[in-house]
């Protein structure tokens, strides 16, 4: 009898890749998503698989799942600046109420739960690179605070369940991740740059471009998350690629990759946008035996080819197919 895993945010970028990973590893997978930011097309290839089932459900409402659950991976949340600035209350609710429901379900089912936290808990860091021991520099009332504080609260609630109820919990602090199934219009730097290149627009860099990011390819990220779930470590672990690059240099890499002739233009830096972002992955190496394997050159080629393959007419428009027969409401 295969083990059963519930993945919230299953139709999202990381959630859909996690569904693929667990199906490949022989699990029975229950995907759950309210489809506010997720795209059902990311998982439609799984509907014919007998070991996959989809629930169209908002986890800020009570979660009911029949039968045994071995694992829960909580990945439901808006995860881009455009999303969590457009739907700030929902972002806070899914990180708080939604997490509470997931932890309650894990307690009821005696399941191990992995929570998707984020490098955003470090805010605009005063320590570089960022290790798990750094407490962060977050503006609670800034426009990004709805996401940052939801994730920080999520971590606190998770550890409270771990300590008070003895729940088996895992916390992944996820750094910038990229790859196929990202939304082209989600506001993050990689889809923004590639989208501008595909549309023949100049690439927009905010600030002077000296701010840095560290990009992890999705296959590496999923492997790290999988190993963390199956580990015996309950404190937060950074999962990301420590190879740091400035946004200006990255924009130039995109122009070289796409062989486009556009220019780089500069606009004011958004409020509370972090100036540095680089994970210290010492714990991931020592505890999980994990570190990234995919080079940025290799990963960016695969990502660019994915975006190029999207329909030319309105690349972001979702298809209106009837998936109701596959959906458990």
- Domain count for the chain, please give it: 1
For the segment 126-154, the average pLDDT, to the nearest whole number, is 94
Tokens of 32: 């759950």
Residue pair 310/184 in contact by the 8 Å Cβ criterion: yes
Angle between helices 296-309 and 189-198 in degrees, nearest 10: 50
pLDDT for position 161: 98
Q: What distance in Å separates the CA atoms of residue 163 and residue 260, rounded to the nearest whole number?
A: 54
Share of the chain above pLDDT 90, in %: 83
pLDDT for position 307: 94
Residue 274 has pLDDT above 60, yes or no: yes
Residue 325 has pLDDT above 90, yes or no: no
Beta bridge mates, 214 = 244
Beta pairing, strands 177-178 & 216-217: parallel
Per the structure, the complete domain to which residue 262 belongs is given by 4-328
Q: Residue 36: give its domain's CATH number.
A: 3.40.50.720
| Mean pLDDT, the chain, whole residue set | 92
Residue 317 has pLDDT above 80, yes or no: no
Which member of 71, 147, 178, 226 is catalytic? 147
pTM of the predicted structure, to 2 decimals:
0.93
Residue 328 has pLDDT above 50, yes or no: no
Q: What distance in Å separates the CA atoms of residue 155 and residue 176, rounded to the nearest whole number?
A: 18
- In Å, what is the CA distance from 25 to each residue of 193, 226, 230? 34, 10, 13
Band (37; pLDDT cuts 50, 70, 90)? very high
Catalytic, 147? Answer yes
* pLDDT tens digits along 112-133: 999 999 999 999 999 999 999 9
Q: What distance in Å separates the CA atoms of residue 243 and residue 190, rounded to the nearest whole number?
A: 15
Residue 314 has pLDDT above 50, yes or no: no
* pLDDT tens digits along 184-226: 888 889 999 999 999 999 999 999 999 999 999 999 999 999 9
Taking the CB of residue 205, how many other CB atoms lie within 10 A of it? 23
Phi and psi at residue 294, to the nearest 5°:
-90, 125
Band (315; pLDDT cuts 50, 70, 90)? low
Tokens of 233: 């470590």
């Amino acid at each position: 009898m295969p083990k059963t895993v519930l993945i919230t945010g299953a139709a999202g970028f990381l959630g859909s890749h996690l569904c693929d990973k667990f199906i490949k590893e022989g699990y029975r997978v229950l995907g759950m998503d309210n489809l506010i930011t997720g795209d059902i097309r990311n998982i439609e290839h799984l509907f014919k698989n007998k070991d996959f089932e989809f629930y169209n459900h908002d986890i800020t409402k009570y979660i009911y799942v029949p039968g045994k659950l071995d694992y829960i991976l909580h990945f439901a949340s808006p995860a881009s600046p455009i999303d969590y600035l457009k739907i700030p209350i929902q972002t806070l609710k899914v990180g708080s109420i939604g997490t509470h429901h997931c932890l309650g379900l894990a307690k009821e089912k005696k399941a191990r739960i992995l929570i998707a936290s984020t490098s955003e808990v470090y805010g605009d860091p005063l320590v570089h690179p960022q290790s798990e021991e750094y407490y962060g520099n977050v503006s609670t009332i800034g426009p990004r605070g709805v996401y940052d504080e939801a994730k920080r609260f999520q971590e606190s609630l998770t550890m409270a369940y771990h300590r008070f109820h003895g729940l088996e919990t895992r916390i992944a602090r996820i750094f910038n991740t990229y790859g196929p199934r990202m939304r082209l219009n989600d506001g993050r730097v990689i889809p923004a740059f590639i989208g501008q290149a595909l549309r023949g627009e100049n690439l927009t860099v905010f600030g002077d471009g000296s701010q840095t990011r560290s990009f992890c390819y999705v296959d590496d990220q999923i492997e790290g998350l999988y190993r963390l779930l199956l580990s015996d470590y309950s404190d937060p672990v950074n999962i990301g690629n420590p190879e740091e690059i400035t946004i200006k240099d990255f924009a130039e890499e995109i122009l070289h990759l796409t062989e486009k002739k556009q220019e780089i233009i500069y606009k004011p830096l958004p409020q509370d946008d972090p100036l540095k972002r680089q994970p210290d992955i010492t714990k991931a190496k020592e505890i999980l035996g994990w570190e990234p394997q995919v080079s940025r050159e290799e990963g960016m080629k695969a990502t660019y080819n994915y975006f190029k393959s999207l329909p030319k007419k309105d690349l972001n428009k979702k298809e209106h197919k009837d998936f109701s027969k596959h959906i458990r409401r």
